[in-house]
Amino acid sequence: MYSLFAFYISALALLAPMLACVGVGAYWGKRALPFSANFLALLVTSVSTPALVFHTLVTTELDNAVLLELGGATLLILLVCGLASAAALWLLRLPVRALLQTTMFPNAGNLGLPLAYLAFGDAGFSGAIVFFAVCAFVQNTIGVRLLPNAGVKGAWKSPVMIASVLAVVLRGFNSGLPQWVLDSAELLGSLTVPLMLISLGYALAFIPASGLRAGSVVAALRLVLGAASAWAVTSVMGLSASMQGLFILQMTMPCAVMSYMYATRYTDKGEVSAGAVLVSTVAFLALSPLIMALVGAPIPGLQR
């Protein structure tokens, strides 16, 4: 009992900054203070996220061969999860293109990274960085073009696509960058998570009951199909138990807040996506000790 209580305290400590940002947004909405969801969505998707992805890819210290193996596994897992999510949404008669992002992509950044470190230490954290970078790249390039009103015209002009390709080229040629460039990218990238969470909190202040009902279905698909996809791909690839556990943990993360940002910008399902983010986050927190145990991660305070 003490070990579970200790884990929940640790998890709440990790979630506290996220909950604080969401709380600010919710308070802003309840007070009807000036707010532009479209402006924030455009800023996050066009400026801060590309900077975050660029800085992460350029500065990671992982060997390129390891990056390739982990990146390939991440791509396969996302592909399987995407196909399974599309099929499930179609069977449930939910809009596939509008909700595929919300169902497919996990919160691999502000929640996945710290929990990977808590569960698997430095090695797990490095692997989680690769997972996050690949998820961010796919979601902000291929994934966004699947949304109903995003279209495919000019996809090569995507800010995240440009930032990702530039980072890969720089790594390939082992080219250094002035420190001010890296510092600028880091600073702009640091805006991403707080702005996303504040915007989410604002949306939650107005979400109707229907958004929560549909969002609960999407949240369940995100957690179940994510874990199943990671288990299936890593089993076929024959990855080590620790790497398999890491990928399962990452794919069991709640719905990505970025999915809500895109749903708000390109579809009329922003309320459903916001409900899915809320429900999946609460469900993950409640189930986290069981999930951590299933992937072989030690629960704080538990002597094994």
Instruction: Flag whether 303 is in a domain.
Output: no
Instruction: Flag whether 201 is in a domain.
Output: yes
Instruction: Flag whether 301 is in a domain.
Output: no
Instruction: Flag whether 299 is in a domain.
Output: no
pLDDT in tens, 125-153: 778 878 887 888 788 778 888 888 765 55
Tokens of 117: 């470190």
**Residue 116 and residue 98 in contact, taking contact as beta carbons nearer than 8 Å:** no
pLDDT in tens, 201-219: 887 787 777 778 889 999 9
pLDDT at 1: 57
State the CATH number of the domain containing residue 42.
1.20.1530.20
pLDDT in tens, 144-178: 888 887 655 555 567 877 887 888 788 878 778 89
Instruction: Flag whether 300 is in a domain.
Output: no
Residue 155 DSSP one-character state: G
Tokens of 85: 């999510």
pTM of the model: 0.77
Domain boundaries, position 263: 2-294
Helix 257-266, helix 96-104: angle, nearest 10: 160
**Residue 203 and residue 255 in contact, taking contact as beta carbons nearer than 8 Å:** no
pLDDT at 74: 94
pLDDT at 46: 85
pLDDT at 302: 43
Rounded Cα–Cα distance for residues 294 and 254 (Å): 17
Work out how many domains the chain is built from and give that number: 1
Taking Cα atoms as reference points, which of 303, 300, 267, 304 lies closest to residue 4? 300
**Residue 18 and residue 197 in contact, taking contact as beta carbons nearer than 8 Å:** yes
pLDDT at 304: 41
Instruction: Flag whether 127 is in a domain.
Output: yes
List, for the chain, all residue ranges whose pLDDT scores fall below the cut of 50: 300-304
